[in-house]
Every structure is written in C-alpha cells, then in structure tokens.
Chains A and B, each alone.
Chain A
Amino acid sequence: MAYQPVVKTGVVAAGSGKLFEVDGHRVAVFNLNGEFFAIDDICTHEEASLSDGAIDNDTVECPWHGALFNIKTGAALTMPAVTAVRTYAVKVEGDQVWVDVSIPAASRSGL
C-alpha cells in the first residue's frame, strides 16, 4: 500500500467533491458527512468530471448525461453508464487525507 497525502480535511467541505491528480490518476475526493471517499474522477460513460457532479446522499450524478454512481462502491447505478469507477483506499490522519492509488503492475507486452 502506498498512501500519499492529498488534501487537508478542511478543504473538501461536507457534501462536496474535489479533483486531485495523484500519481497520474485523476482522483475525486468526496466528503460525505465527515467521512472521506475517493473514486476515479472520470465518468466511465464519456469521461466527464465526476467531481463536478451533484451529490445526493452517497451518490454522485455525472454532470454531462446524468449517470449515477455510488461514491462508496464506485458502482454505476443508472444508464448511460454501465461500468463502475475505480475506488481508492482512503485514510485520514489528523487533518490530512491520504489516498492510495497503487495498482497491480501493468502487464507489459508479455515480456
């Protein structure tokens, strides 16, 4: 696990989301009633920015075509999105939010 410090807790207000770039990944960090979650910012339908979306309870609505995603699980809840977004591990220490974007090593060309 490779957690990286991303943002101070005070910066992301409750009921909102913000975009950060972590190690090449575009990550949307959401604050749901004081609990922090991180998902891939890119809508799996047509790549709008989910951090710009409207939040309702634990779902975020993509601003371009209205697809709903579950912020906690990343699941795509309505069309036109069909594929879930990646979720990232989050931990909060003090007033710092940490996110881990580490993934299994990308497959090289069979070498």
Chain B
Amino acid sequence: MASVDKNLEELTKSKDQYIYGFSDQEDYVYKAEKGLSSRIVDQISHIKEEPEWMRQFRQRSLDIFQRKPMPTWGGHLGDLDFNNIYYYIKPSDRSNEDSWDDVPSYIKNTFDKLGIPDAERKFLGGVGAQYESEVVYHSLQEKWAKQGVIFLDPTEAAKKFPDLFKKYFGTIIPPADNKFAALNSAVWSGGSFVYVPPGVHVEVPLQAYFRINAKNMGQFERTLIIADEGSFVHYVEGCTAPVYSSDSLHSAVVELIAKKGARIRYTTIQNWSKNVYNLVTKRAVAYEGATVEWVDGNLGSKLTMKYPAVYMLEPGAKGEVLSIAFAGDGQHQDAGGKMVHCAPHTTSQIVSKSISKGSGRTSYRGLVKVEKGAKDVKSHVRCDALLLDPESKSDTFPYMENEEDRVSIGHEATVSKIGDEQLFYLMSRGIPEGEAMTMIVRGFIEPLVKELPMEYAVELNRLIELEMTGACG
C-alpha cells in the first residue's frame, strides 16, 4: 500500500514538473484561449515537445481545415461555432473540470441506477480513483510489456518509438480527407497508440480509460492501432457511462492497420451529453486474410456523424461493421459504415440497428464500393430502423458503387414502428406496455449486443431501459 502511495506521489509530482517545465512559455500555458490559429497549433506542438515534422504536419493541416468547406450533407452543423471552442487546455484546467461536484445530478443519478463499476466512478470523483486505476494499469502494463505490446498515449509513443510512429501516422486518414480530419490533424491531443507484435493475441480487451492520462480524453483524440501479422487485439473506446462535457465539439481520428492474417476488433459505445457534436473519422486497412470489425454504439451527443470504414487491400480480407444507434429527443445519429473492396475474394458485412424515440432522428449512411479488379467480392448490408413515436424520424442512405461484374452485393433495409401483433402478444401475457416495448427494443438490438464484452452488454441494456422508461414513464 505504502509503495503505491509513493508511486502516486511521484507520478503527481512528475506531472507538476511537466507543467512548470516551460516557464518561458508560462503565459500561453496558463491562459486557456478560445479559437484556432497557427500560434495555438505551434503552442500545442511545443508543449508536447514534438519533432519538427509533426509541427509542420499540424500547420499544413490547419491550412487545409481553413480552406475546406463544411459538408452539405449529414446532420445540421449550422450552429457549430469554431471560434467558441478551446482547442487545447492544459492538464490542470482539465482536472478541475472533472470534479465530481460539477457533474450534473441527472448523471449522478444514472451512475446510481447503473451500478457503474467503482473504479470508473471514483476516477471521475478525483484523485482517489486514480489510485485504483493506477494499480490496474500497472499490472496490465507488465503483462503487455512482456509480450512486446505497446499501448501508450500517442505523444509518448512518438517520442519512444519515433520510426514506428512516423511510418504509419496519418497514412490511413490524410489531413485532406475531410474538414474534420484536417481539424483533428492540426490540434490532436490524447488518444492511443497500440502496436501488437506478430502472432501475439491480446486476450484482455485494451480499454482507453486504463491509461493514466485518460483524463485528457478529450475533443481531438487520435488513435493509431497496428496489428502485425497474425496478431489479435480488441480495443474498447470510451464507456457506456454518460460523459459530461462542456466541450461542444469532439472530433476524433482513428486509424487501424491489420496486417496479413491479423484481426482487430474496435468497440465504441459513445454516450456523450446531448450538447455535443461528435464528428469522427474512423478507417481501417486490412491486408491479406486480415479482419477488422467495428462495433459501434451511438447513444449520446446532439449530432454524431461517424462512418467506420474498412479498406480491404489484399485478397481474403474481411470487414465488418455492427452499428447500434439510439436517438432520443433532439438527437440526430447519422452513422453507418463504409466498405471498400480493393482486392478480389474479399467479403464485408454491415448490420445496422437504429431506434428513434420522441423527436429523435437516426440516419444510416453507408458505402459499399467494389474497385476495378476486385473480383469475387461478397458484401451484404442490412439496416433496420424502429420508429417508436409519431415524431420520430429515420433515413437510410446506402451507396453501392461497383466496377466489377463478378460480385454479389446485397442490401436490405426496413423501417417500421413496433408491430402491433408483437406488442399485443406480450401485453396479453400481463406485461405492461412500457416494459413490453422495452423488451421488443432489446430483442431488436440483441444480435449486436451479444458481440459486446459482457459488462458493456449489461450496461447497454440498462441504458436502453433507462431511455425507454424515461419516455413512457
């Protein structure tokens, strides 16, 4: 116990030293400034002690961001004010925000109902939590280190493994890809860098909040995962607990590389508070015989625009997206997936289940593309949407673009309300209407929920129940 206390003390001290280490930059570091400029980009790079190539990368990206127009499709982005956002806040300001007292009561109540694991709750409660997270973190770290697995904050990774980092960073999602990728490329901070050596199977899912500086889980995370040949890793981002954020914009970039025979599963259940714009670019490349699976749950945020993608670059590669979206009053979940077949004998699957409640809107937006030369491709997309209330809305925008004849591409979608017969059946067995509807909704998403790690499945089901009873209660 004592040694852990000492470790904690040392860690805190080292963080303090990190902050004070730049006395000549003291002005900038202390003042949290709104808005975006090349000066702020330089500050970020300087504070992180980045190599020159990264600083230039950020500046070029800023230029691209400023030149690119806003997208004219998707959700309503008209109220997004880029000048009213903090693009970088020094760590000490961040920790103040995470004080338990500042968390709104509806979230505190949720924790009670959900029975959130103590570690998480304490984590949000302040230093006490760090204690426990640290212990967990350290023990896992030893196990990974023995296998050669690298799991670090990307800034640290850039310093400790510069060649590896530079080789892959920004190669899957270049800054010019879209406006929000450019923004992230300019001001990114936090996220994860994961490297799994050949043949290594990481049995325990890697979870972002285990890392010591997960408190910087913030607006512009940048995650890069490289699974070397024949390896396996399951990465879980975020948590089902509602994440309170005064930040209005979260724009992350996630790049995955699955080398020959490797498999990556990336699970996200996002539940940002309902004032947040969640605009994310996620893309994977899969080499020969490799598989990438995105399990994507979207429950929170005011507007989410997110389309996890898999580019199958070599024969035998496989891509899969399992997507759940739940939009309540005032929410718009615009999500889906993209599968790009660039090689023959590749297969893909997208399954999307959406639920709209109250005035919520869910939109499925997806792409299946078969490039020239990608023969014998099989792809199947299935989107189902439930509209619970008269004001609920749903859209489906599936794009199929095909340049080969020897393919089998299929897409099906249905949109409907809860069937009267189903409801009647349950109610005639004495189940009250609200509960019956909840059961039907849970059954609707069951095929996807069973793909989640157990504790997430349980929590997700409880969250759905909360949303449903809130409506009918």
Contacts and interface: CB of A to CB of B under 8 A. Distances in A.
A79 B177 contact: yes
B178 A82 contact: no
A21 B174 CA distance: 31
B313 interface: yes
Interface string B157-171: 000000000000001
A80 interface: yes
Given A44-B372, A65-B177, 17 more contacts: A44-B371, A65-B174, A65-B176, A66-B64, A66-B174, A66-B175, A66-B176, A66-B177, A78-B171, A79-B172, A79-B174, A79-B283, A79-B311, A80-B177, A82-B311, A82-B342, A83-B342
B175 A83 contact: no
Interface of A: 44, 61, 65-67, 78-80, 82-83
Interface residues of B, number: 18
A57 B70 CA distance: 30
B372 A83 contact: yes
A66 B182 CA distance: 11
Interface centre among A44, A61, A80 (most CB of B within 10 A): A80
Nearest to B338: A80
Contact of B174 (A44, A78, A82, A83): A78
B205 interface: no
A68 B211 CA distance: 36
A44 B401 CA distance: 12
B176 A83 contact: no
10 contacts: A65-B174, A65-B176, A66-B174, A66-B177, A78-B171, A79-B173, A80-B177, A82-B342, A82-B371, A83-B371
Contacts of A67: 174
Given A44-B371, A66-B64, A82 B313 contact: yes
Nearest to B343: A82
Nearest to A83: B371
B225 to A, nearest CB: 16
Contacts of A78: 171, 174
B373 interface: yes
B405 to A, nearest CB: 9
A92 to B, nearest CB: 29
A52 to B, nearest CB: 14
Contact of A82 (B64, B173, B177, B340): B340
Contact of B171 (A44, A65, A79, A83): A79
Contacts of B176: 61, 65-66
Contacts of B175: 66
A78 B313 CA distance: 13
A63 to B, nearest CB: 9
Interface string B88-118: 0000000000000000000000000000000
B226 to A, nearest CB: 15
Given A78-B171, A79-B171, A82-B311, A65 B371 contact: no
A61 B67 CA distance: 15
Interface in B368-386: 371-373
A67 B177 CA distance: 8
A10 B283 CA distance: 43
A79 B373 CA distance: 18
Contacts of B171: 78-79
A77 B209 CA distance: 36
A46 to B, nearest CB: 9
Q: Which 3 A-B pairs have the closest CB atoms?
A: A66-B176, A82-B342, A83-B371
Contacts of B64: 66
A80 B342 contact: no
A53 to B, nearest CB: 11
A95 to B, nearest CB: 35
Contacts of A44: 371-372
Contacts of B371: 44, 82-83
Contacts of B177: 65-66, 79-80
Interface centre among B174, B176, B313, B373 (most CB of A within 10 A): B176
A67 B171 CA distance: 11
A83 B371 CA distance: 7
B373 A83 contact: yes
B68 to A, nearest CB: 10
A44 B178 CA distance: 17
Contacts of B178: 65
A77 to B, nearest CB: 10
Nearest to A61: B176
Contacts of B313: 82
A45 to B, nearest CB: 9
Contacts of B285: 79
